[in-house]
Amino acid sequence: MLKKESGKKKEFFNKKARHEYSITDSLEAGIVLNGLEIKAIRNGRVDMTSSYAKILNDEVFWLGGSINVETGDRQRTRKLLLKKEQIKKLIGKTAEKGMTLIPLKLYISKGKAKLELGVGRGMKMYEKRAVMKERDIEKNISIELKNRSKT
């Protein structure tokens, strides 16, 4: 008898994505995988740091994502499963100057691997600094509010 995993949800985040890009929109896509790759995802052998998505011939592909399998290509190009309407919207959004597709999160939902794609624009260094400054201010305010409520 097979045991079901006890509520543990495997999620893998592209940690640099939200720091490097300002995300305007996101959507969920399925991934075409083979048996060894889905097994590796379930075991947590995934690296998304330098990955990106690209639209080629009205199809969306995930490039640069590393799924560590024993045999085969770890960084092969994987097709993403989207509806035609979604692909047309993505083509329109990425046609703007500076807009790109970024994989944000990889997770398993109902036994199927899903990739959350974000449409975003690369941030300049001064924009990154401003975002970091805002986060620090918000963090300090929340700490002060907690300290005030304790006394």
DSSP 105: E
Q: Which domains does the chain have, with CATH numbers?
A: 12-122 (2.40.280.10)
**pTM > 0.85:** no
Contact assessment for residue 90 and residue 119, using Cβ atoms and an 8 Å cutoff? yes
Task: Determine the Cα–Cα distance for residues 114 and 44; give it in Å rounded to an integer.
Answer: 14
pLDDT at 74: 81
pLDDT digits over 56-65, tens only?
999 999 998 8
Query: Could you read off the pLDDT of 67-126 as tens digits, one per residue?
Result: 888 887 888 889 999 999 999 999 999 888 888 899 999 999 888 999 999 998 888 888
Which residues are paired to 119 by β-bridges? 25, 101
Q: Using 50, 70 and 90 to split pLDDT, how confident is the model at 36?
A: confident
Helix (H) or strand (E) run with residue 67 in it: strand 66-67
Q: How large is the average pLDDT for residues 5-26? A: 76
